[in-house]
Amino acid sequence: MCDVCGCGDKSVPVDVHDRILSVNDQQAAHNRSHFAQSDVVAINVMGSPGAGKTAVLEATARHFGAGRLGALAGDLATENDATRLQAAGIPSLSITTGSACHLDAEMVHHALHHFPWTGLDYLFIENVGNLVCPAVYDLGQAANVVLLAAHEGEDKPLKYPVMFRKADLVLITKIDLVPYLDIDLDLIERNIGTVMPHPEVFRVSAKTGEGIDRWVAWLEARRAPAEASRRAVPAGSAPQPHHHHHHG
């Protein structure tokens, strides 16, 4: 008999003890091996609708030469974000999710087969605007970056702790608006420290460019270990090729 809810059927218990999202996890691991083999740093960019995800990527494009950046843009219904990124010089493919509130590893994998990404240095995966659901799905990224606009309020990290717990970096965006807001950025950072185990927070404005140099330096540092390990790989020890079904 079930000791959790008291249901009392005579039946065979089958212990599974596995993550419900194990299929997504396997697909994410597969994507991760793709990224590693092509030496591309994949960054999962998350945040509320209007947090400034696309604007920060546009500002990022001004710091990198052509051919280094690419993006997959998750969007419920439009291709507006991908169109904006293209205009900013970032080759992009839209992943239209329909009603899905997040990207999953399978959607990303499908996109990887329809987008020339292997020669890039960085692939940004701009997730669906949402501070809840995207945090649950591993996509195979090297890092999670969470954007929180200054006007969203000091308590957002406390209200959405899962998203901030999974973040490797938080960008507080739109700080050019701070003079017009009644907002305490130090309090936002203190709140982040109660939900994010290794808090790393930059304050940026895509509009004025303030702080974008720190974000760019952070990105460059993500490549440094890859560059070093690539140089350290002796000849003949290339990663094993792997086989999988390619989508049409």
Q: Which of 76, 132, 177, 226 binds other proteins (CB under 8 A)?
A: 132
101 belongs to the binding site for other proteins (CB under 8 A): yes
225 CB-near residues (< 8 Å, 6+ apart): none
Q: Residue 143 belongs to what H/E stretch? A: strand 143-149
Q: How far apart are the first and last CA of the chain?
A: 48
246 belongs to the binding site for other proteins (CB under 8 A): no
- Which residue is it, tokens 């309090």? 187
Please give the size of the binding site for other proteins, defined by CB under 8 A.
Answer: 40
3-state DSSP assignment of residue 85: helix
3-state DSSP assignment of residue 93: strand
User: Least distance (Å) from other proteins to the CB of residue 24?
Assistant: 7
Stretch that binds other proteins, among 3-11, 26-34, 202-210, 236-244 (CB under 8 A): 3-11
User: Least distance (Å) from other proteins to the CB of residue 104?
Assistant: 7
5 belongs to the binding site for other proteins (CB under 8 A): yes
Q: Which residues, 104 to 123, sit near other proteins by CB under 8 A?
A: 104
- Which residue is it, tokens 């030496």? 39
CA atoms within 13 A on the CB side of 226: 16
3-state DSSP assignment of residue 210: coil
Q: Which of 36, 76, 143, 162 binds other proteins (CB under 8 A)?
A: 162
248 CB-near residues (< 8 Å, 6+ apart): none
Between 2 and 233, name the residue whose CB sits nearer to other proteins.
Answer: 2
Q: Which residues, 183 to 202, sit near other proteins by CB under 8 A?
A: 190, 193-199
Q: What string marks each residue from 20 to 49 as x (binds other proteins by CB under 8 A) or -?
A: xxxxx-------------------------
Q: Residue 92 belongs to what H/E stretch? A: strand 92-96
7 belongs to the binding site for other proteins (CB under 8 A): yes
User: Least distance (Å) from other proteins to the CB of residue 157?
Assistant: 11
3-state DSSP assignment of residue 25: helix
76 belongs to the binding site for other proteins (CB under 8 A): no
Signed CA dihedral, 34, 35, 40, 42: sign only: positive
18 belongs to the binding site for other proteins (CB under 8 A): yes
229 belongs to the binding site for other proteins (CB under 8 A): no
* C-beta atoms surrounding 162 within 10 Å: 14
137 belongs to the binding site for other proteins (CB under 8 A): yes
Q: Which residues pair with 126 in a beta bridge?
A: 45, 73
Q: Which residues bind other proteins (CB under 8 A)?
A: 2, 4-5, 7, 9, 11-24, 100-102, 104, 132-133, 135-137, 161-163, 165, 190, 193-199
